[in-house]
Amino acid sequence: MIKYSIIKTEKKHLLSLYHHLSVQSLLDIKAVNGEVSHNVLMSLFESSSVSKTVMYNNKVAYSVFVMPTDVNECSVFVVSTTLGYSDTETLKETFSSIIRDLPDFKLYSIVYKGNHKYAKLLKDNGFRFIKNLVHGEEKRNFLLLGRLTDGKQTK
């Protein structure tokens, strides 16, 4: 059984996150930023109004970054280690808890089209498809998913 905790992200978590990135998070970061570096994670962290890290057995599993994009509107981004997606039930439970504890804002997430696990995780938490878009430094295909403050679809 995995013992987990949800804590406020600290800079020291970012280094562990960077060193143990899951392949999918690596692809997501590269598609959006054109590179994968510790500085990209620092930028996410510094731009966030809220950032939570989930620890599995005292190891970083994943971090959630919530960045304001407009008044009462935020973008949610998840960066995972290889450990983060390993226990689907714990991932689902911890992510749901983080989303529930966020302020009542419209939430959006841009998801790399091939990231089916993250898209499903968002959909399980009230996010719905809004549109396809080309995004990021590498001009890749992404999905825009959104959730209103009541958890219903944005359109």
**Over its length of 155 residues, how does the chain's per-residue pLDDT go in tens digits?**
679 999 999 999 999 999 999 999 999 999 889 999 999 999 999 999 999 999 999 999 999 999 998 888 999 999 999 998 888 889 999 999 999 998 888 999 999 888 888 999 999 999 999 999 998 888 888 999 999 655 444 44
Give the HSE-up count for residue 112: Cα atoms under 13 Å, Cβ half-sphere: 22
The pLDDT of residue 148: 65
What gap in Å lies between CA 48 and CA 34, rounded to an integer? 20
DSSP 23-60: HHHHHHHHHHHSS--HHHHHHHHHH-SEEEEEEETTEE
Enumerate the β-bridge partners of residue 77. Answer: 65
Counted residue by residue, the chain has a size of 155
Query: Global pTM?
Result: 0.90
Question: What pLDDT sits at residue 150?
Answer: 54
Give bridge partners of residue 62 from the DSSP assignment.
54, 80
Strands 106-112 and 73-80: parallel
